[in-house]
Amino acid sequence: MTTLAIITAMDSEYETVRKLYDFSEEGDFLQAKAYGKKILLIKSGIGKVNAALAAQKACDAGADILMTTGLAGGIDESLQQGDIVLAEKVCYHDVWCGEPNAKGQVQGLPLYFETRPNIIEKIVEGTPEGYLKVGLTVSGDKFLTDAKRLKEIKKEFPEALAVDMESAAIAQTAFLNERRPYISLRIISDVVGKPNQEEEYNNFWQNVPEKAAQMVDVVLKALNVEYI
C-alpha cells in the first residue's frame, strides 16, 4: 500500500485535515487509510527548516509521496481568497547563492523542483473543471505584506501564483530522498498587496474553512494509487 504523508504547518491547518478521516495514534504520527492509501498526518511548524525536518521524518517513516497543504498568499492579480493552487513546480524567492546560480536556486540543485507531470494530470482530470489553479508556488521565510517586495518577487518570478513558507523546502527534501514525488496544495488566504490584506488573512477561517479541508479530500480521491 502506498504511504502518503500530509504535512501542515499550523495547528488550524492540521485540525482541518485531522477531521477528514478516522486517524489513529499509532507510531509517531496520526495514521489513517483513505482511497487505497495509508495516510500519515504531520504538523511541521512554520518555515523552511521546520518543513524540511518534518519532510525528512516522513521519508524516514516510509512515505512514498509527500504532500504539503495549508494556506498561501496570492501574488497574482487573477487570484482571490479561497482559490486553490496546485503547484506544478516550486522554488525559493529568498535564496541567492551568487553567480552562476539563478535567483532562488540552491547551489548544486535545480532552480525548480517539479511535481511529476502524471500526478498533475491525474489530479486535474479527477477534479471539477476550474477547481484548481496550476502553476508556480514560491517559498521564503517571511510573511509578505510589503507591496514593494511583492513587485520584486513578481519581477524575478513573473509566473508565480502563490507564496508560502514551506513548499520548496519539502520539495527539496523529497528530491534529496531518492527524488520522491511531492504535491503542494494550497488555498489562498489573502492576496499580497491588497489594501485589506491583513483583514482578509485574519478572517480566513471564518470565510472558507470548509473548503480548506475539502480540497485535501478532493485531491486524494482524484489521485489513485498508480501515480509513481
Q: How far is CA 160 from the centre of its chain?
A: 14
- C-alpha cell at position 5: 504523508
Which residues are part of the catalytic machinery?
13, 190
pLDDT tens track for 170-206: 999 999 999 999 999 999 988 877 666 767 767 776 6
pLDDT tens track for 98-149: 999 999 999 999 999 999 999 999 999 999 999 999 999 999 998 877 778 8
Average pLDDT over residues 207-218: 82
pTM check: above 0.85: yes
Q: Give the C-alpha separation, 140 to 146, whole Å.
A: 14
Q: Give the C-alpha separation, 111 to 90, whole Å.
A: 9
